[in-house]
Homo-oligomer: A and B are copies of this chain.
Amino acid sequence: MTSTAIPVSNSIADIKALIRRESRRVTSYDVASLAGVSQSAVSRCFKPGASVSKATYARVMKAAQELDYTPNAAARSLITRRSNLVAVLVSESAVSFYPDVLNELTRQFAERGMRIVLFTFVHESQLDSTLADVWQHQIDGAVVSARMLPSQIAEFERRGVPFVLFNRHLRDQSVNAIVCDQVEAARTMASRLAAAGHKRFAIIDGPADSTIAQDRRRGISERLAELGLPAPVVVSGGLDYTSGARGMREVIERCGMPPDAVMCGNDMMAIGCLDTARHEFKISVPHQMSITGFDGIAQSSWLCYNLTTLRQPVQSMAVAAADMLVGLARQLERAPERRVFSAVFVDGATARLGPAF
């Protein structure tokens, strides 16, 4: 005699009627009663590598299919303490500028059986209020592309939620991060521009307090100094099209003679910069001026632009982020690691260039 309210055996119609009457979802008990096995047997059938006989497995699966049964992730996560959910924390502009990164992350995590919960904010300073929502859902980890405060990092650690910084890193704090080598990339581009005879450089880049923007600036400045060239004019802004356009105007305004090479912090800015140079100032690019970007977004290869830029290996970076986070969730890794990828040079048509060095 079983004490459960659900009879041991039943017809499909009876069970469906019961479920409808109680207006609830199909549970493993329903499947068990239809298949004539225990609830635990059903549970085991849905756990890969569990010990079930072939016969029971078949009966259970048939019953499950007939009832449209799907295990309840909430109940599962309650006991397993894993939700198979990963939070992606990014600014709205990051989604706008780098949709492919989101696609790649979604795909990579999906391949590892995990789904992405998207948390966006307008300003990175809103990360804090966003985090409050993040903790509610029992996410297994987070991919963060925002400036993190030490207090926020501490909170992740206190709560035991692993995270990976994406395209960001921190000075004076060791955390797991996936980045592209900005210094190397900047030096490469500066070298090739210099080799082609450019003399007067300008930089249009993102916020002055962004560490990756600082890296790029440093890479360029150091390389130019090494080559005995004058220091570049530097303009800071956002990282969008409009900032690129504004940057171009500011550069023209500040320089007596316009620079012959303008290196932008990303492709969006480079495109804004390029459009403004061509249409507003009637500057011929690359004949009178070279303009370079960084990222290798889809738009950079459009015929109208055909940007000379450095492509970030988005897919490799997404794979790395997924691998790293899955590893952390399984407690396989311990010491913080930074995985640094190299950007790939894209020889477009917006810069006169010397040979690769």
Binding site for B on A (CB under 8 A): 25, 68, 70-75, 77-78, 81, 83, 85, 92, 95-97, 99-100, 102-103, 106-107, 110, 115-120, 132-133, 135-138, 155, 158-160, 241, 271-272, 274-276, 278-280, 298-299, 302-305
A73 to B138, Cβ gap below 8 A?
yes
Q: Chain A interface mostly helix, strand, loop or mixed?
A: helix
B107 to A103, Cβ gap below 8 A?
no
Task: Pick the residue among B100, B132, B158, B279 that contacts A96 (CB under 8 A).
Answer: B100
B299 to A275, Cβ gap below 8 A?
no
Query: Measured between C-beta atoms, what is the minimum distance from A14 to chain B in Å?
Result: 17
* Residues of B close to A119: CB separation below 8 A: 106, 110, 115
CA A120 to CA B133, docked complex, whole Å: 23
CA A110 to CA B122, docked complex, whole Å: 13
B95 to A102, Cβ gap below 8 A?
yes
A120 to B96, Cβ gap below 8 A?
no
B78 to A136, Cβ gap below 8 A?
no
New A-B pairs, 7, CB < 8 Å, besides A73-B136, A99-B99, A280-B303 = A25-B81, A70-B136, A75-B78, A95-B106, A102-B118, A115-B117, A278-B303
B303 to A305, Cβ gap below 8 A?
no
B303 to A276, Cβ gap below 8 A?
yes
Task: Pick the residue among B68, B81, B96, B106 that contacts A103 (CB under 8 A).
Answer: B96
In the complex, the chain B residue whose C-beta lies closest to that of A119 is B115
* Residues of B close to A303: CB separation below 8 A: 275-276, 278-280
Asked whether A106 and B83 contact (CB < 8 A) given A99-B99, A276-B303, the answer is: no
* Residues of B close to A100: CB separation below 8 A: 96
